[in-house]
């Protein structure tokens, strides 16, 4: 297929009228499809239903510490849940604190605490004239919403195929003491599915921040969320790497079982140095008497250990893989070679990131909506919801059924083609 840019106006108008007819046909079906949020499908949720049976009214609910999980006690997570999540996050059990049901909640609390009380004795951020965060883009909208909410200035850092542009990160972090953090989704990133290379992780660990209270917010939400058994990305463990480089306190690592068991009803944890965790526990002991230990116990008894969890993730992969492949093959077949969009083929995670011709993303999302397909809002993958190129669109293939996904992707490619032709003809 010839690239659209190379076609004459007449040829493009002819293609456009054919596409419009197709689009009207799909629109007439009055469909309601959603490729907007990275939610597991019902079939995936069903994988964890056994968790409902591991505890019942005759279960012994005493955890390894000898504490009755039905009662108060054990502030920072029961031992068996710590072991499970420590193995999942590839850190020692002593470097982990279990929170409640959401890692985003821990990230919010971490920023809130830094604002009001500072980081390990440094000036609270709210007392400073300016606080800035680096935001690799495209990135996770909810990260950006947290920093925006607290009035933290966000600086875009472009993503490359190996992670954030590290020349820019090193330059900014080492010269500007107002920069207090960076949001990272280092494995199967949201939305591009990129895993940071060894060199990128080494460079992160070697950072020499101008601010003593600078922290890397390492959100490893998709650490074991592979699509393939034989093609998996590997990420260097950052806590150990920072320790080796003499910066043990520079990183907070977050994760949860949201997309392993049940989103919103899983367990979440932070991993960090002993000194960081001491500061976190101090606040935690004021904030709560303890999180949901019954749920921690349920997770620990259901998965048993990391091997159980890894086996479980293979079942998720079997459901997710054909969906990713369906979207990717349609993109390749319908748009490949037309010069109107680019994308990567991730080996894990929850998203495919599509870059349209500049100035087209908002119109594509609006066009798809006309035919009943809801996509993530264009711009959402950038701080303040502003994509300077108006180009990036996040595709979330997990929730729709295979049938729905087929139609949804067809609507999407039709929308991309129609909007791109208009753009080229402008």
Q: Which residues bind ligand PLP (CB under 6 A)?
A: 38, 102-104, 140, 185, 190, 219, 221, 256, 258, 263, 268
Nearer to ligand PLP, 144 or 343 (CB): 144
CB of 331 to ligand PLP, least distance (A): 21
Nearest-angstrom CA–CA distance, 243 and 246: 5
Using the structure block, give the residue that is written with the tokens 């139609």. 407
- Give strand pairing partners of 356: 341
Q: What's the DSSP call for residue 218?
A: E
What six digits make up the tokens of 225?
């969320």
CB of 143 to ligand PLP, least distance (A): 7
CB of 128 to ligand PLP, least distance (A): 26
Burial bucket for residue 153 (CB in 10 Å: 0-12, 13-18, 19+): middle
CB of 396 to ligand PLP, least distance (A): 9
CB of 222 to ligand PLP, least distance (A): 7
- Give strand pairing partners of 269: 98, 255
Nearest-angstrom CA–CA distance, 128 and 116: 11
**Phi, then psi, of 12 in degrees rounded to 5:** -65, -40
Nearer to ligand PLP, 268 or 414 (CB): 268
Nearer to ligand PLP, 101 or 276 (CB): 101
Nearer to ligand PLP, 23 or 351 (CB): 351
What six digits make up the tokens of 14?
């002819």
Q: What is the 3-state secondary structure (H, E, C) of 263-322?
A: CCCCCEEEECCHHHHHHHHHHHHHHCCCCCHHHHHHHHHHHCCHHHHHHHHHHHHHHHHH
Using the structure block, give the residue that is written with the tokens 């101008």. 210
Nearer to ligand PLP, 146 or 360 (CB): 146
CB of 263 to ligand PLP, least distance (A): 5
Nearer to ligand PLP, 95 or 258 (CB): 258
């Amino acid at each position: 297929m010839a690239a659209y840019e190379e076609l004459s106006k007449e040829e493009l108008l002819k293609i456009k009228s054919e596409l419009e007819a197709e689009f009207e046909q799909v629109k007439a079906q009055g469909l309601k499809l959603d490729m907007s949020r990275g939610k597991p499908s019902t079939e995936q949720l069903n994988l964890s239903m056994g968790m409902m049976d591991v505890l019942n009214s005759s279960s012994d609910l005493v955890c390894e510490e000898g504490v009755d999980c039905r009662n108060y006690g054990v502030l920072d997570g029961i031992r068996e849940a710590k072991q499970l999540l420590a193995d999942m996050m590839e850190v020692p059990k002593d470097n982990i604190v279990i929170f409640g049901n959401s890692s985003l909640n821990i990230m919010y609390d971490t920023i809130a605490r830094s604002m009001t009380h500072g980081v390990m004795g440094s000036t609270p951020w709210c007392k400073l004239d300016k606080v800035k965060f680096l935001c690799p883009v495209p990135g996770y909208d909810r990260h950006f919403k947290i920093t925006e909410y607290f009035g933290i200035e966000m600086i875009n850092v472009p993503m490359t195929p190996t992670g954030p542009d590290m020349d820019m990160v090193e330059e900014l972090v080492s010269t500007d003491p107002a920069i207090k953090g960076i949001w990272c989704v280092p494995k199967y990133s949201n939305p591009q599915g990129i895993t940071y290379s060894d060199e990128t992780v080494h460079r992160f660990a070697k950072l020499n921040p101008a601010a003593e209270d600078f922290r890397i917010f390492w959100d490893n939400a998709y650490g074991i969320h592979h699509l393939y058994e034989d093609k998996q990305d590997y990420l260097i463990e950052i806590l150990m790497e920072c320790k080796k480089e003499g910066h043990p306190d520079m990183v907070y690592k977050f994760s949860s079982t949201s997309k392993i068991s049940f989103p919103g009803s899983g367990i979440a944890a932070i991993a960090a140095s002993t000194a960081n965790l001491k500061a976190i526990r101090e606040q935690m002991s004021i904030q709560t008497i303890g999180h949901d230990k019954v749920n921690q116990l349920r997770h620990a008894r259901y998965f048993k250990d990391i091997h159980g969890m890894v086996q479980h993730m293979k079942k998720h992969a079997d459901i997710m893989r054909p969906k990713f492949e369906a979207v990717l093959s349609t993109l390749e077949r319908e748009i490949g070679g037309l010069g109107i969009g680019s994308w990567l083929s991730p080996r894990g995670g929850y998203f495919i990131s599509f870059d349209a011709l500049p100035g087209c993303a908002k119109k594509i999302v609006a066009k798809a909506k006309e035919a009943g397909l809801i996509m993530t809002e264009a711009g959402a993958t950038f701080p303040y919801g502003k994509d300077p190129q108006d180009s990036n669109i996040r595709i979330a293939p997990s929730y729709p059924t295979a049938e729905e996904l087929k139609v949804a992707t067809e609507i999407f490619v039709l929308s991309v083609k129609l909007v791109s032709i208009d753009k080229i003809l402008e």
